[in-house]
A and B are shown apart, each in its own frame.
Chain A
Amino acid sequence: MSNNTPILEVKDLKQHFPIEQGAIIKRQVGAIRAVDGISFTVNAGETLGIVGESGCGKSTTARAIAQLYKPTSGEVLYEGQDLVKLSNKEMLSIRKNIQMIFQDPYASLDSRMTVRKIIAEPLEIYNSHGLMKLTTEDIEHKVEELMERVGLSRFYKNRYPHEFSGGQRQRIGIARALALNPKIILADEPVSALDVSIQSQILNLLVDLQKELGLTYIFIAHDLAVIEYISTRVAVMYLGKIVEISESKALYKQPLHPYTQALLSAAPIPDPVIEKKRQRIILTGDVPSPDQERFGCYFYDRCPKRMDHCRTHIPPMESFDDNHQVACWLHIDKSKWPE
């Protein structure tokens, strides 16, 4: 399914949100380090899953890639072009290749627009900027085609989003994302707000679309099982950092980072027999606030296997084998440890 040509490359991406104080003259007193230096590549046709708890920066990563926020530093290379440095106009011509699907099927559709208008909006924007030349009939056809493609009857096109159930609304969101024939789809928790039976419908739809259209997904979720099902590779994020990135199967078979291990063991399995036998690694405490700079391992506070060295040194990303990288001192030979 995937070949090894990188379509998107993220290099040392940082997204800090300033905390400001002062009534008239604003002065920055700190920053929320939502994403704090992450690097990864996405190959054409694959699905990169990004998993992590809330506040780990996975959604911010997606938005920074889509240039909804201007990244603090770092590069986002799409087919070799750094999106961060592009002007709004240049970005617009690339945007059609990178589209997003959002988490909340209720909030992500404008409730004052009909389904037709929602799906046609990206086409109309591109038309108005002269980047596409579509007639009204073209757009109408395209909307109907997209609706049928995502499994909605085209007779629904004059209805409003509030008349649909969550799953159907998510389908509308997917149709909208597909309207510009993108190459990459950033799916930000597309199924976490949906019911179990609907979730599998949407997952299957996404898999089918990928096969048919050769899409590349960056798929964000907090549900490990969903990520396992859909991803070719998985990145685990914690507190704005990637702690482990690997081929999907290898990660689930042999998680290396203590955080990944804890995550996997905490996720419930819908089988009472297995559940009764399982030994859980229960992490203590909560995710700390990302508002201060850290000089040691980001996971130090909650790590069950922490060492003194971890407190003062940030572990670098090290290759464990070809397709498996981990940022943990446990997996770095002691001889290579810095002083």
Chain B
Amino acid sequence: MENNKDKVLEVKGLQTYFKTDSGVVKAVDGVSFDLYRGETLGIVGESGCGKSVTNLSIMKLIPSPPGKIVGGEVIFKGENIIALPEERLRSIRGNSISMIFQDPMTSLNPFLKISTQMVETIVLHQDMSKSEAKKKAIEMLTLVGIPAPEKRIDSYPHQFSGGMRQRVMIAMALSCNADVLIADEPTTALDVTIQAQILELIDELSKKLNTAVIMITHDLGVVAGMCDKVCVMYAGRIVEKALTEDLFGKPFHPYTSGLIQSVPRLDHATQEKLFSIEGQPPNLIDLPDCCPFHPRCHKAMDICRSKYPKLTEVEPGREVACWLYMDKGEDK
């Protein structure tokens, strides 16, 4: 069913390594996924699992050195972004692919008015005059629900509250009719009530503008509410990929199921002891060639300790990287 949709972004075997004093950190090691128009893809995982690095690699924004994209392709509209020259990239960044960050203050210049920053972005990427761009900016601010945008557009970023700044960021990100919006933990720094506002806004706008969204988050609740498809990442690799309903309904990978069970839930009180995954996420330096989850996995087998399980399709539209679901004879 996905085939008749329009594929906007394809990530194939992306590998991003960081060189450090103590060894090579394989922050992202062979990540692949497809993104279709109008769809929201969630990338979920714990800190250090490589979800943010994946997103920066897609935009080729990895600080180098120490980081380096050592392998893989990011195909956007038939072009491999990784191989593009810097100039061409600049016209894609913020235009065709936009980003929203966790802390909007880091991406807004505190010394410039909102109007200046927005107009600049629009003029840079679109063939518009300044007055037209300003009109467009006001239109976008109205769209993201900023009250009295004609007046507020001449304010400085610090005059906005956290939630409002995030709205401004979304307005800027969408002002150039981006095909892909990458939201990197867009609500982590916000309060619950504000988070609800922002998530609803992103959802509504992406439907309206038919934008594909990559939602990077550690919050399973956000994924459940927002995303059509989910990739679960662990130690730089995708361990499970599925439709949201399937994933939450019947998680395959022990890590996914552990993750879902270890969140206390509002809808039914957890009387018994909360489930928890023992141990710590591994250090990504010099990771041995085994399933990185095996020391914490209660279903670990001998093969998990010696060989890494490849991401394999086990049901239509469902992929999982776990020896439990693999025919041992077929892939030894």
Contact A195 to B218, CB < 8 A, known contacts A229-B264, A270-B224 = yes
CA distance A239 to B197 in the complex (A): 20
Contact A200 to B275, CB < 8 A, known contacts A225-B263, A268-B222 = yes
Bin chain A's interface residue count. Answer: 35 or more
Do residues B258 and A262 form an inter-chain contact, with CB atoms below 8 A?
Answer: no
Do residues A282 and B245 form an inter-chain contact, with CB atoms below 8 A?
Answer: no
Name the interface residues of B198-229: CB closer than 8 Å to any CB of A. Answer: 199-200, 218-225
Partner of B276, one of A165, A204, A273: A204
Say yes or no: is A31 at the interface (Cβ < 8 Å to chain B).
Answer: no
Say yes or no: is B151 at the interface (Cβ < 8 Å to chain A).
Answer: no
Least distance between B145 CB and chain A CB atoms (Å)? 9
CA distance A167 to B279 in the complex (A): 9
Do residues A272 and B192 form an inter-chain contact, with CB atoms below 8 A?
Answer: no
Contact with A along B278-311 (1 / 0, CB 8 A): 1011000000000000001000000000000000
Question: Which DSSP category, helix, strand, loop or mixed, fits chain A's interface?
Answer: helix
CA distance A229 to B260 in the complex (A): 15
Contact A266 to B163, CB < 8 A, known contacts A225-B264, A273-B245 = no
CA distance A49 to B196 in the complex (A): 22
Partner of B262, one of A165, A196, A222, A286: A196
Partner of B225, one of A225, A229, A268: A268
Say yes or no: is B142 at the interface (Cβ < 8 Å to chain A).
Answer: no
Least distance between A30 CB and chain B CB atoms (Å)? 19
Q: Give the chain A neighbours of B248 by CB distance below 8 A.
A: 270-273
CA distance A266 to B219 in the complex (A): 14
Contact with B along A262-296 (1 / 0, CB 8 A): 11111111111111000010111011000000000
Say yes or no: is A198 at the interface (Cβ < 8 Å to chain B).
Answer: yes
Contact A274 to B262, CB < 8 A, known contacts A53-B191, A222-B191 = no
Contact A207 to B191, CB < 8 A, known contacts A271-B267, A286-B161 = no
Do residues B269 and A252 form an inter-chain contact, with CB atoms below 8 A?
Answer: yes
Do residues B245 and A200 form an inter-chain contact, with CB atoms below 8 A?
Answer: no
Q: Give the chain B neighbours of A272 by CB distance below 8 A.
A: 224-225, 244-245, 248
Contact with A along B144-174 (1 / 0, CB 8 A): 0000000000000000011110000000000
- List 15 extra interface pairs beyond A268-B221, A270-B224, A271-B224, CB under 8 A: A167-B280, A195-B47, A196-B262, A197-B46, A197-B277, A200-B263, A200-B277, A203-B276, A228-B264, A228-B269, A268-B225, A270-B248, A273-B245, A274-B224, A283-B193
Can you name 14 A-B pairs with beta carbons within 8 Å?
A195-B47, A196-B263, A197-B46, A197-B277, A197-B281, A197-B296, A199-B262, A224-B266, A229-B269, A269-B265, A272-B225, A273-B248, A283-B196, A286-B162
